[in-house]
């Protein structure tokens, strides 16, 4: 990639533009707002848990697509930790398993989550779009698309408090996934931000990184839209 | 995948058909035969090391493509070890680094290997075909294509003996990669064979697995052809 004929922008302005996408993060979605203010019914919360599982179980496949497209062994050595975080190294470990335990704590069976019987088409399409993005776009754009993690810790902290306050029928043991992400997301997004700022030096490449993050905000928002439609008041 | 309307073949016959592909393994290639009987010149051996590096550095990307396509978390948990074996977890580790040390032991610089100045088009095309196969074909076929590892330990043992006997100008320290593969290949192909025999139960799926292994034999053979053409007697 060349920077010839392009305008370099300052890294500070680039990072600020990325961070400004927090206003498009799905924590602003009406369904999410209602989740965090305790207004969701049991059926709505179960619907969210079951549908969001499809996102969770596809995350390692998205990250493996980035690994596959990335020629930089140093980047791969760090990126691979994300896959281990989600898959675990043996049975009973990892983020996918933790989400299944959340589902059980919320009164769902593992089977009904794993067999996708509750999965609505809009959620499937949004998640598949994200995996396809990672498979087909330049790896640095796929890395940039992960930068919604910049906004995740605040949402996780809010969600943990909200679940403990409003949805006490969910066994607190089931909230392990969110607690783990409170530590993983800052570590992950620090690396992703380092890689994106190191590689995106031209105005064009920075614009593509911003577009990728914008796309990812659309994925998460669209997922919420589809869940809201499927589980109305 | 269904087995309806298909003929199940016995697993023993299937495995025997896979193993019979040893006669198409690249250890039978004239260039490889000459390598193991001490007939290659220094330039020819250096050419092989520099070109084969392109294969080595693409192996983790091939394996990440399989991870990305595989929906089975149990398979992914074991398959990911291959990526760690090749990439290592920190600088100075892993199979790619070990191959670079082999190159240095053979009188090449890291730079001339990493920048692909010696890479011949036929090697690039063969390796790229292998990575594209893993990206675009069903994951179980990509797993089957890795089964050339069934034949690798014999070749590694032969190669180690040949290098120590005929090419003593190569520092034995540089042979670490081959020694590591003596242990890794049997472990890896045992897993791959378990997965393939568990998933390929119909005659059709077994035929596709055999085709995949045949394709992989073609990749390795074609790589040898291209190197032989580029570095004649």
pTM, rounded to two decimals:
0.93
CB A49 within 8 A of CB A102: yes
* B89-106 mean pLDDT: 95
Q: Identify which of A185, A164, A224 has the alpha carbon closest to the alpha carbon of residue A86.
A: A185
| pLDDT tens digit sequence for B5-17 | 345 567 889 999 9
Q: What's residue B7's pLDDT?
A: 52
Give me chain B's average pLDDT, please.
94
Kindly state whether A12 is in contact with chain B, defined as any CB-CB distance less than 8 angstroms: no
Q: What's residue B6's pLDDT?
A: 46
Domains (ranges, CATH) in chain A?
25-230 (1.20.910.10)
β-bridge partners, A202: A8
Max CA pair span of chain A: 59
| pLDDT tens digit sequence for A32-48 | 999 999 999 999 999 99
Give the model's confidence band at B230: pLDDT under 50 very low, under 70 low, under 90 confident, else very high.
very high
Kindly state whether B214 is in contact with chain A, defined as any CB-CB distance less than 8 angstroms: no
CB contact under 8 A, B65 and A64: yes
* B105-131 mean pLDDT: 98
| Separation between Cα atoms, residue A37 and residue A31, nearest integer Å | 10
Kindly state whether A122 is in contact with chain B, defined as any CB-CB distance less than 8 angstroms: no
Q: Is B202 helix (H, G, I), strand (E, B) or coil?
A: strand
| pLDDT tens digit sequence for A211-222 | 999 999 999 999
In percent, how much of chain B has pLDDT > 90?
A: 93
Kindly state whether B4 is in contact with chain A, defined as any CB-CB distance less than 8 angstroms: no
* A134-157 mean pLDDT: 96
Q: Is A8 helix (H, G, I), strand (E, B) or coil?
A: strand
Q: What's residue B9's pLDDT?
A: 63
Cα–Cα separations (whole angstroms), residue B77 to A5, A96, B94: 45, 12, 18
| Separation between Cα atoms, residue B99 and residue B111, nearest integer Å | 13
* B101-113 mean pLDDT: 97
Cα torsion angle, B189, B177, B226, A66, sign: positive
Q: What's residue A209's pLDDT?
A: 98
* Nearest-CA distance A138 → chain B (Å): 14
In percent, how much of chain B has pLDDT > 70?
A: 96
Cα–Cα separations (whole angstroms), residue A46 to A64, A85, A91, B43: 29, 24, 24, 66
Tokens representing A193 are: 């931000």
| pLDDT tens digit sequence for A50-75 | 999 999 999 999 999 999 999 999 99
Q: Identify which of B2, B20, B13 has the alpha carbon closest to the alpha carbon of residue B214.
A: B20
In order, the DSSP letters of A149-213 are GGTHHHHHHHHHHHHHHH-TTS-GGGGHHHHHHHHHHHHHHHHHHHHHHHH--BHHHHHHHHHHH
Rg (CA), chain A: 18
Q: Is B169 helix (H, G, I), strand (E, B) or coil?
A: coil
Residues contacting A156, CB < 8 A, separation 6+: A178, A179, A181, A182, A185
Tokens representing B32 are: 């490889």
Give the model's confidence band at A152: pLDDT under 50 very low, under 70 low, under 90 confident, else very high.
very high
Kindly state whether A69 is in contact with chain B, defined as any CB-CB distance less than 8 angstroms: yes
| Separation between Cα atoms, residue A198 and residue A194, nearest integer Å | 6
Kindly state whether A76 is in contact with chain B, defined as any CB-CB distance less than 8 angstroms: yes
Cα dihedral B209→B213→B218→B223 (10° resolution): 130
Residues contacting A129, CB < 8 A, separation 6+: A219
Give me chain A's average pLDDT, please.
94
**B28 has a pLDDT exceeding 60:** yes
| Separation between Cα atoms, residue B54 and residue B120, nearest integer Å | 10
CB contact under 8 A, B70 and A61: yes
Angle, vertex CA A221, rays to CA A148 and CA A55, nearest 5: 70
Q: Looking at the partner chain, which of A69, A73, A90 has a beta carbon nearest the beta carbon of B87?
A: A73
CB contact under 8 A, B68 and A64: yes
Q: Is B33 helix (H, G, I), strand (E, B) or coil?
A: helix
Higher pLDDT, B11 or B211: B211
* B184-213 mean pLDDT: 96
* Nearest-CA distance A128 → chain B (Å): 12
Q: Looking at the partner chain, which of B57, B61, B89 has a beta carbon nearest the beta carbon of A68?
A: B61
Tokens representing B7 are: 């003929």
Residue B147: HSE in the Cβ half-sphere, 13 Å Cα cutoff: 30
CB contact under 8 A, A83 and B67: yes
Q: Looking at the partner chain, which of B67, B94, B96 has a beta carbon nearest the beta carbon of A64?
A: B67
């Amino acid at each position: 990639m060349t920077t010839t004929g392009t305008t370099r922008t300052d890294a500070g302005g680039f990072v600020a533009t990325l961070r400004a996408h927090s206003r498009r993060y799905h924590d602003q979605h009406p369904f999410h707002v209602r989740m965090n203010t305790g207004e969701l019914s049991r059926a709505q919360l179960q619907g969210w848990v079951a549908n969001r599982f499809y996102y969770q179980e596809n995350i390692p496949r998205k990250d493996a697509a980035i690994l596959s497209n990335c020629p930089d062994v140093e980047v791969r050595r760090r990126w691979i930790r994300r896959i281990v975080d989600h898959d675990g190294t043996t049975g009973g470990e990892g983020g996918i398993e933790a989400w299944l335990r959340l589902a059980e704590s919320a009164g769902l069976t593992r089977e009904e989550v794993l067999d996708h019987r509750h999965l609505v088409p809009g959620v499937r399409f949004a998640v598949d779009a994200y995996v396809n993005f990672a498979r087909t776009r330049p790896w640095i754009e796929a890395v940039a698309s992960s930068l919604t993690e910049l906004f995740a810790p605040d949402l996780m902290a809010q969600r943990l408090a909200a679940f403990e306050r409003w949805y006490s029928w969910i066994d607190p043991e089931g909230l392990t996934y969110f607690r783990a992400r409170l530590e993983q997301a800052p570590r992950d997004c620090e690396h992703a931000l380092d890689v994106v700022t190191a590689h995106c030096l031209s105005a064009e490449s920075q614009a593509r990184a911003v577009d990728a993050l914008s796309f990812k905000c659309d994925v998460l928002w669209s997922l919420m839209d589809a869940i809201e439609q499927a589980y109305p008041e």
